[in-house]
């Protein structure tokens, strides 16, 4: 089911904001690079940053303020061994890729450690920051190389990770470690040259009449096993495992018994666009887990245009595929318990053998960042997607490697190879007039007739009737005392629509 549709005019940003030094806070430090891992701790007001050979603690309000740092270098022996095995000197460093919060003063930290992954515990408080010195071999938890895509999650003391299990990167694995260890099987029917993107938990056990279990969802792109083609066709997947999975007694020992996967579909049929490579995923959580929505950013494997698409997937559709498809996975629920199957170890061999040999669902899940340092602000307005604004984040073009949002602070943090930047989700004060404020069509901003200023909507209290906002149409007719400005506003809207029409025509003619 398609939750949000896009059209070519809506994919063109309504507004482009060039780099403005005053609106963006930046953190850079001589000798440090690859700021690719970010962790927001709202309780302590800290942004943790994983970089090459270091973990940094920055002030959440102003990231130019460094609160502490810990350096973690690979030993000379490790680096020399890495180089002898054919890797470059730059690669043979310790790139910090996993940062997980245990509590307000302790983190679980993992790094590539010169192609010999290691994890340790880090202590951080107001007076001290240090590693505990309990580094352990961590293959299957953390990638061997810094450029390899991966995903991880720490839930109730268990680390769930999706990465590669060996030096060559030929053994993809989705693993649970620290307590009850489980992993996927090394079969191409389970994982076939995957590129992992995201992992998240949906607490489906809450108020569940079927007594179902919490689920871990993993998103990735892999080489298709269900299609025969002259080239390697890629497909995007969503896979799930159950939190309570303990593996099988004889078959699937120390393996997932609940692993299932399905294909994600993201396309524009009228233009014959197929977006089959998943780049990133965001989980929009609601009070009721059944209303959860996953948003995915996709690109094309084959195509002459460098374009992307955002598709949304409802929890209802995902559940429908996994629970009612031809290959139903043995998650322990009330129905299973009625037959005496209380844990996965109780399941008969016949069921586990089928689960091992048939991980791919018959049905597909239908839908409802940039490489040059531009941030796109998108909006789902009554089922229709709009790109409200694009904003230049860096003085010089750089790829965006990581995004983290602090909803409490209203700030977005962006990691790149050379720096970390902090930008507010809204900059309403930059619009000096009602016309500019309304035409910006920014969902965070509205024109206040009481204060005669463009103000953040979230910070307003009391009567909201005095606010003027028109996100979808940019209707400025309610702006007070405009006079000739109304005419100019209408001309500006016509000019914007004309530019969009020209770009749309160019896009369509290129095919």
Residues of the chain within CATH 3.30.1680.10 domain(s) are 428-468
Backbone torsion region of residue 118, taken as left when φ is above 0, otherwise alpha when ψ lies between -120 and 50, otherwise beta: beta
pLDDT band at 427; cut points 50, 70, 90 = confident
- 144-179 CB burial, b ≥16 within 10 A, e <16: bbbeebbbbbbbeebbbbbbbbebeeebbbbbbbee
Tell me the mean pLDDT in the region 412-430: 89
Instruction: Enumerate the CATH 2.130.10.10 domain ranges in the chain, comma separated.
Output: 16-424
Give the range with max mean pLDDT: 144-153, 328-337, 362-371.
144-153
Report residue 322's pLDDT band, with 50, 70 and 90 as the boundaries: confident
The CA–CA distances, whole Å, from 390 to 173, 370, 427, 443, 497 equal 36, 10, 13, 14, 17
pTM: 0.78
Model confidence pLDDT, tens digit, residues 369-379:
456 677 877 77
Minimum mean pLDDT range among 23-32, 159-168, 198-207, 260-269: 260-269
What pLDDT, on the 0 to 100 scale, is given for residue 208?
83
CATH superfamily of 428-468: ligand-binding face of the semaphorins, domain 2 (3.30.1680.10)
User: Does 417 score more than 50 pLDDT?
Assistant: yes
Domain 16-424 sits in CATH 2.130.10.10: yes
> From its phi and psi, is residue 283 left (phi > 0), alpha (psi between -120 and 50) or beta?
beta
Among 338-342, 354-358, 376-380, 401-405, whose mean pLDDT is lowest? 354-358
> CA 167, CA 21: separation in Å to the nearest integer?
42
pLDDT at 91: 95
């Amino acid at each position: 089911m398609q939750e949000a549709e896009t059209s070519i005019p809506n994919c063109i940003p309504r507004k482009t904001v060039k780099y403005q030094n005053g609106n963006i806070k930046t953190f850079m430090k001589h000798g440090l690079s690859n700021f690719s891992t970010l962790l927001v701790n709202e309780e302590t007001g800290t942004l943790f940053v994983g970089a090459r050979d270091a973990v940094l603690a920055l002030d959440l309000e102003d990231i130019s303020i460094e609160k502490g740092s810990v350096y973690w270098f690979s030993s000379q022996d490790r680096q020399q061994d890495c180089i002898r095995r054919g890797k470059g000197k730059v690669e043979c460093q310790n790139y910090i890729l996993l940062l997980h919060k245990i509590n307000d003063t302790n983190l679980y930290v993992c790094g590539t450690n010169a192609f010999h992954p290691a994890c340790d515990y880090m202590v951080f408080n107001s007076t001290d920051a240090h590693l505990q010195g309990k580094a352990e071999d961590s293959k299957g938890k953390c990638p061997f190389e810094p450029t390899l895509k991966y995903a991880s999650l720490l839930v109730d003391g268990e680390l769930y990770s999706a990465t590669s299990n060996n030096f060559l990167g030929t053994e993809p694995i989705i693993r649970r470690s620290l307590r009850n260890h489980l992993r996927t099987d090394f079969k191409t029917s389970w994982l076939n040259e995957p590129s992992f993107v995201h992992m998240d938990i949906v607490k489906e056990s809450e108020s569940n009449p079927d007594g179902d279990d919490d689920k871990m969802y993993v998103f990735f792109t892999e080489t298709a096993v269900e299609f025969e083609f002259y080239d390697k066709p890629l497909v995007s997947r969503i896979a799930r495992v159950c939190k309570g999975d303990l593996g099988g007694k004889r078959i699937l020992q120390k393996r997932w018994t609940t692993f299932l996967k399905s294909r994600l579909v993201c396309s524009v049929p009228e233009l014959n666009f197929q977006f089959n490579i998943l780049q990133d995923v965001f989980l929009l959580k609601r009070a009721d887990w059944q209303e959860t929505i996953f948003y995915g950013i996709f690109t094309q494997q084959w195509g002459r245009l460098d374009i992307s698409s955002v598709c949304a997937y409802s929890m209802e559709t995902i559940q429908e595929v996994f629970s009612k498809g031809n290959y139903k996975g043995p998650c322990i629920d009330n129905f299973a318990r009625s037959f005496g199957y209380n844990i996965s170890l109780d399941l008969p061999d016949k069921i586990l053998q089928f689960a091992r040999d048939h991980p791919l669902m018959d049905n597909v899940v239908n839908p409802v960042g940039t490489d040059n340092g531009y941030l796109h602000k998108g909006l789902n307005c009554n089922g229709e997607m709009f790109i409200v604004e694009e904003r230049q984040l860096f003085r010089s073009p750089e790829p965006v490697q990581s995004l983290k949002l602090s909803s409490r602070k209203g700030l977005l943090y962006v990691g790149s190879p050379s720096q970390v930047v902090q930008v507010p989700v809204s900059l309403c004060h930059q619009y000096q007039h009602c016309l500019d404020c309304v035409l910006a069509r920014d969902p965070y901003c509205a024109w206040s007739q009481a204060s005669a200023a463009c103000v953040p909507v979230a910070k307003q209290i009391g009567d909201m009737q005095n606010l003027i906002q028109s996100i979808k149409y940019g209707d400025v007719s309610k702006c007070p005392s405009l006079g000739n400005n109304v005419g100019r506003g209408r001309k500006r809207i016509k000019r914007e629509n004309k530019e969009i029409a020209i770009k749309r025509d160019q896009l369509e003619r290129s095919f």
